[in-house]
Amino acid sequence: MNKILKRAFMPSLLAASLAGVTIVPAQPASADDKILEDTAIGAGVGAASSLIRGRNVVKGAINGAGTGAAINGANDLRGSRREREKRSIIQDAGVGAAAGAVTNGITNGGKGTFGSAATGAATGVIINQIRKR
């Protein structure tokens, strides 16, 4: 009886799993793309700000990447698609400043927190303007 069940259900189970594997990646991955873009934008702004301020560029890029990811996460928490598209520049700047200060505390031990918060706010404004297009 066990062989009969295996022979009856295994081909259909295999076909269903193969169909599921090929259909799932066909869905758009726009949410993943946006978080990667926001993280990359944040890393670029953080690195540029570190160059201007004469700080460690790698730590600035890490700080900016964390800020960009936090801004993306804050906007993804909004309820509907319409609310996510109506981004607030104040919210993005505030989340960016807070995330910049927090990541600075992790990467630099709290040295230059104000500058990192300002960089985070600038990152929030830049991401907001890019996303509004």
Report yes or no on 23 lying in a domain. no
User: E strands, the chain, where?
Assistant: none
CA 83, CA 87: separation in Å to the nearest integer? 7
Domain that holds residue 38: 33-131
CA 99, CA 119: separation in Å to the nearest integer? 10
CA 70, CA 99: separation in Å to the nearest integer? 6
Tens of pLDDT, residues 91-127: 889 999 999 999 888 888 878 889 889 999 999 999 8
Report yes or no on 39 lying in a domain. yes
Report yes or no on 3 lying in a domain. no
Report yes or no on 10 lying in a domain. no
Tens of pLDDT, residues 15-49: 444 444 444 444 454 556 788 888 999 999 999 98
**How many separate domains does the chain show?**
1
Distances (CA, A) of 2 to 6, 8, 10, 38, 45: 6, 10, 11, 53, 62
Report yes or no on 27 lying in a domain. no
Report yes or no on 70 lying in a domain. yes
